[in-house]
Amino acid sequence: MNLLDDHYVADGVADKIISKISGTTDCNKKDISLNHFKYDQFHIGGAAATQKLLKLMGDVTRSVVLDVGAGYGGVARYLAHFGGANVVAVDLAQGYVESAQKIHESFPFSGGVTYLQGDVCGDFSDAEMGAQLFDWCVWVHLGMNISNKEGALRTLCNKLSDKGKIIIYDVLKVGGDVLVEECFPLPWAENEAQSFVDDVRTYENKLLNAGFKVVYKEKYGDILPKIINNPTPDDVIPLAGSDFKLCLENLRQLLARGAVVPWFIIAEKI
């Protein structure tokens, strides 16, 4: 088991997610709403941020979408259900892939998604998904765990069709602020050595070097007051780390002091 598996994959999480969703919906596809995705969107802003992500992507009906670092598959299921996209959801951790598939199979509204194990930083080749080219790549809260972002982005650029796009929703540093050891643990890392948070300018340069041009960027500050002004709930599903509530509280403090902020970035293959 690698360090990411040690940090992220928690026993029984899929069952907890299924239980939470089951308490929210009767799983009637005609009645699905944003509330049904409340418990499987594990990024800043949750389902509201995913809704915004799909709005920024525009019409993705029948588009072929690659979701990298897909985790428990919440974003992929959302894009398939509300966007009508055909999604391939890939994650490095086999435990995530198995959990995502289990959640998928538990609800009839979670269609249109294929789950695969793959390493975007390694041999992310035709062995995993054939020669398929994608219209979109989705990258949500992934970059914080990738030291060689430029290499990963170049690999993804090669998996996109002509004029294909990548949409990134990530936590970025503000200016030269450094995340020192006292900031940890965080939802994506137990310690400083596991964390690779960049600022927006560095991200843009890495995208350009990987074969993309940035066509849109937006600091997503709308959601921050709700997060900063409300304490972390006691019944949060433990998704990562030895103390996930502490991870979330540390992130809340970083957001409150303005050291990090979530951004949306869209870049087109050139």
Residue 40 is given by DSSP the state S
Q: What is the CA radius of gyration of the chain?
A: 17
DSSP state for residue 233 in the 8-state scheme: P
Which regions of the chain are under pLDDT 70? Answer: 1-10, 24-33, 35, 109-111, 123, 125-130, 176-178, 240-242
Confidence at residue 22, expressed as pLDDT on a 0 to 100 scale: 80
Residue for token pair 């990963």: 152
pTM score, whole prediction: 0.92
Q: Please state, for a pLDDT cut of 90, what percent of the chain lies above it.
A: 56
Q: What is the pLDDT of residue 120?
A: 86
Q: Which residues contact 153 (CB under 8 A, 6 or more apart)?
A: 166, 206, 207, 210, 211, 212
**Residue 101, C-beta contacts closer than 8 angstroms, at least 6 positions apart:** 73, 115
Report the number of distinct structural domains present in the chain: 1
- Termini Cα distance of the chain: 37
Domain of residue 223, CATH code: 3.40.50.150
Q: How far apart are CA 59 and CA 75, in angstroms?
A: 16
Q: 135 lies in which domain range?
A: 3-269
Helix axes 200-209, 149-158, angle to 10 degrees: 50
Strands 134-140 and 160-173: parallel
Residue 150: what pLDDT? 96
- pLDDT of the residue at 1: 42
User: For residue 247, what is the enclosing H or E element?
Assistant: helix 244-257
